[in-house]
A and B are shown apart, each in its own frame.
Chain A
Amino acid sequence: MDFESRQHHATIAQRPVGARSVRTPRRTPAPPPEPEPDVWDRRVANTLAFLRRRLTGEYEVDEFGFDRELTDGVIHPLLRPLYRDWFRVEVRGIENLPDGGALVVANHSGTVALDALMLALAVHDEHPDHRYLRLLGADLVFRMPFISELARKHGSTLACNPDAERLLRAGELVGVFPEGFKGVGKLYKDRYRLQRFGRGGFVQAALHTRVPIVPVSIVGAEETYPMLGNFKPLARLLGTPYFPITPTFPWLGPLGLIPLPSKWYIEFGKPIPTDAVADQADDPLVVFNLADQVRETIQQTLHQLLDVRATEL
């Protein structure tokens, strides 16, 4: 578990090696006072204190169920190797995230919604203030036991206007994927082709709360679980939106759950202000126009990022 900043990895990895190599033949019996901070002792003490707080319930969750301590101490450290070493995520334009509330709108892909988790980690780790992205999830997420509770503890809530607007009014960054299951469950042959953007409820949330919309383009998630086919009868039987057939799933069983190690890019676009049209939230034309503008921006940036990736690889 990672309780401090991740710089410790380096020091911890090196220290035991160094300690063993410096072997003085004989030392005076006086206990050596330790001038440098004892990293292991602090880690052990922190871990024990963390466990004690978890066991006695002495931590805070907000009204949506966001458990900051668990997110920092367990969820983010588990996701970080995937983010850094597996997908080698490259982030551009993090400075486009404004202070205070903003609606972060991204494309959705990859069969399993890993892009949402990677986006949230990118916002936290790359932003100088280490902000948290409050994700909006489909009701299916909150129907599933365990998953629903992990999602809430990670800061997510149901994708509905009351919750989104409450978070935005509180000055939070809210992440939404307007394509929903149409995006995450599309076939590999449709990769990087944005799907329809629902009813534009996300635009209304931004207008009602007068926060800017930040378009985000994610490249790389499409290749993690390339969905070659959708076995619809089984999906209907299981009550899921789709049943994916990928090159490895379900053929390899649990091994098929390992995502392919594609190279990822996440680009935060310039914020689109909503102040000018904020009082026209109930005008469908304004809402659709703004949704189209966001969609076009994301689509164009996706093409640019794909070109960049093609030249870099």
Chain B
Amino acid sequence: MTTDPVRQARPPRAVLVTGVSRYLGAQVAARLAADPRIERVIGLDDREPAGDQATVLADTVEFVRADIRTAEPARVIASNRVETVVHLAIASAADPNAGGRAAMKEQNVIGTMQLLAGCQQAPGLRKIVFRSSTAAYGASFRDPAVFTEDTEPRDVPRGGFARDVLDIEGYLRGFRRRRPDVATTVLRFAPLVGRRANTSLTRYFGLPLVPTVLGRDPRLQFIHVDDALEILHRSVTEDHPGTFNAAGAGTITLSQAVRRAGRIGVPILEPALSAIGRGGARNFSLDQLDLFVHGRVVDTTRLIEEYGFRPRSTAVAFEDFLRGIGAVLPRDMIGALEHRILAGLRRSRAALGGER
């Protein structure tokens, strides 16, 4: 793919990354800043980066404090002659301390609309890279088991994040029609896992007793954070227009994931979980309920062919995440128990045989 002249388009001089006060945004911005081919990286968020994120961004990323739901990002794009926008300020879960679902929707939907409005006015803009999600794809019993990028979902999902994703991708399609000269890359990421990733799903697997839906064992897919960073970086430095599923190959079921994590699954009736999800619990949303009822597996052939990059498999990515958390029921304990039972049975059989 690198021999293709289009793909070797020069890397952008100035890149704007939104959502840099969060883990993914900070990492992406810092990596871009470390790339000598890129002159300037501007990081945008509505709050100052704190803790780890502040260290990661340090002096290499120019931080601009601005609210994405206003016209400010448009001014930043215009005044800095931004050539590439990496839009990562998309919240996948509501934060009850920061306005809950209403604020989340406003950031995702209004924020994206404002950003796209700013992009449309910027003549020097060449590319937009979007962080989307597989969350909207696979929330119906009539959906196929494996989604390609072209598979249309049969039903509107229950989860707020999933519905935001459908809205955002819709706005982007409109933008593509209005500015065909701007290359757009939409990356539909499976849930991110990794030793340092902190998402509602990784917090969920951190619980000792893990709630699941009674009678359902969904197929899950993950992508390793480091692979997601690599794909985002390449999307900026190379040209890969289009929509791509980004996930680790293969699948593990929820029951398998719970057991591999050494957790204890607690099956709960779906209506009860739905009530918890609607109630706005921090560790359980309707997005998760959709995932835990329907499961979600995507085909990543297009990504692998276009990027020449194969993310590590779902099983390997999940295993790496597990190294960061301890198990309640460690595997070697179960293995030791197996050997004890087998040895015990052999002894008693030998004793019985001896009596004969």
A interface with B by C-beta (< 8 Å)? 23, 31, 40-41, 44-45, 48-49, 51-52, 54-65, 67, 139, 142-146, 148-149, 152-153, 157-158, 160, 162-163, 166
CB distance from A10 to the nearest CB of B (A): 22
Decide: B251 and A63 in contact? CB cutoff 8 A. yes
A58 to B338, CA, bound (A): 14
B-chain residues with CB within 8 Å of residue A148 when the two chains form the complex: 141, 215-216
Partner of B145, one of A23, A57, A163: A163
A-chain residues with CB within 8 Å of residue B338 when the two chains form the complex: 48-49, 51-52
Partner of A57, one of B216, B252, B297: B252
A64 to B145, CA, bound (A): 6
B255 at the interface (CB under 8 A from A): yes
Decide: B151 and A162 in contact? CB cutoff 8 A. yes
B121 at the interface (CB under 8 A from A): no
B345 at the interface (CB under 8 A from A): yes
A57-B260, A149-B215 known; A139+B252 contact, CB < 8 A: no
B209 at the interface (CB under 8 A from A): no
A159 to B187, CA, bound (A): 29
A-chain residues with CB within 8 Å of residue B335 when the two chains form the complex: 52, 56
B259 at the interface (CB under 8 A from A): yes
B219 at the interface (CB under 8 A from A): yes
Decide: B146 and A41 in contact? CB cutoff 8 A. no
A63-B251, A162-B151 known; A44+B146 contact, CB < 8 A: no
A-chain residues with CB within 8 Å of residue B47 when the two chains form the complex: none
Decide: B342 and A64 in contact? CB cutoff 8 A. no
The 3 A-B pairs of least Cβ separation, nearest first, read: A145-B215, A57-B259, A57-B260
A59 to B116, CA, bound (A): 46
Decide: B342 and A158 in contact? CB cutoff 8 A. no
Decide: B215 and A158 in contact? CB cutoff 8 A. no
Partner of B253, one of A23, A65, A143: A65
CB distance from B188 to the nearest CB of A (A): 16
Give the interface centre of A23, A40, A62 by most chain B CB atoms within 10 Å: A62
A48-B342, A146-B215 known; A158+B259 contact, CB < 8 A: no
Size category, B interface: 35 or more
CB distance from B80 to the nearest CB of A (A): 44
Decide: A57 and B255 in contact? CB cutoff 8 A. yes
Decide: A48 and B255 in contact? CB cutoff 8 A. no
- B contact patch SS: mixed
Decide: A57 and B257 in contact? CB cutoff 8 A. yes
Decide: B214 and A56 in contact? CB cutoff 8 A. no
Decide: B146 and A163 in contact? CB cutoff 8 A. yes
Decide: A61 and B145 in contact? CB cutoff 8 A. no
Q: Which B residues, 243 to 280, have Cβ-Cβ distances below 8 Å to chain A?
A: 250-253, 255-260, 262, 270
Decide: B217 and A157 in contact? CB cutoff 8 A. no
A48 to B270, CA, bound (A): 33
Q: Which B residues, 64 to 105, have Cβ-Cβ distances below 8 Å to chain A?
A: none
B interface with A by C-beta (< 8 Å)? 141-146, 148, 151, 213-217, 219, 250-253, 255-260, 262, 270, 295, 297, 329, 331, 334-335, 338, 341-342, 345-346, 349-350, 354, 356
CB distance from A96 to the nearest CB of B (A): 28
Decide: A61 and B253 in contact? CB cutoff 8 A. yes
A35 to B259, CA, bound (A): 39
Decide: B346 and A41 in contact? CB cutoff 8 A. yes
16 contacts between A and B (CB under 8 A): A51-B338, A52-B335, A55-B334, A56-B259, A57-B252, A57-B257, A62-B250, A62-B251, A63-B145, A63-B297, A65-B251, A146-B215, A148-B216, A152-B145, A158-B145, A162-B146
A158 to B213, CA, bound (A): 20
Decide: B297 and A162 in contact? CB cutoff 8 A. no
B-chain residues with CB within 8 Å of residue A162 when the two chains form the complex: 144, 146, 148, 151
CB distance from A63 to the nearest CB of B (A): 5
Decide: B345 and A44 in contact? CB cutoff 8 A. yes
CB distance from A155 to the nearest CB of B (A): 11
A-chain residues with CB within 8 Å of residue B141 when the two chains form the complex: 139, 142-143, 148, 158
Decide: B146 and A63 in contact? CB cutoff 8 A. yes
Beyond the given pairs A40-B349, A67-B253, 5 more chain A to chain B contacts, judged by CB atoms under 8 angstroms and listed by A's residue number, are A54-B259, A63-B146, A64-B219, A166-B144, A166-B145
B-chain residues with CB within 8 Å of residue A55 when the two chains form the complex: 259, 329, 334
Give the interface centre of B148, B256, B335 by most chain A CB atoms within 10 Å: B256
A141 to B243, CA, bound (A): 32
CB distance from A7 to the nearest CB of B (A): 23
A153 to B350, CA, bound (A): 38
CB distance from B143 to the nearest CB of A (A): 7
Decide: A44 and B342 in contact? CB cutoff 8 A. yes
A48-B338, A48-B341, A52-B334 known; A61+B144 contact, CB < 8 A: no
Decide: A57 and B251 in contact? CB cutoff 8 A. no
Partner of A149, one of B144, B151, B217, B259: B217
A-chain residues with CB within 8 Å of residue B329 when the two chains form the complex: 55
A59 to B145, CA, bound (A): 20
B-chain residues with CB within 8 Å of residue A146 when the two chains form the complex: 215
A2 to B49, CA, bound (A): 59
CB distance from A144 to the nearest CB of B (A): 8
CB distance from A31 to the nearest CB of B (A): 8
A60 to B250, CA, bound (A): 9
A-chain residues with CB within 8 Å of residue B258 when the two chains form the complex: 57
Decide: A65 and B256 in contact? CB cutoff 8 A. no
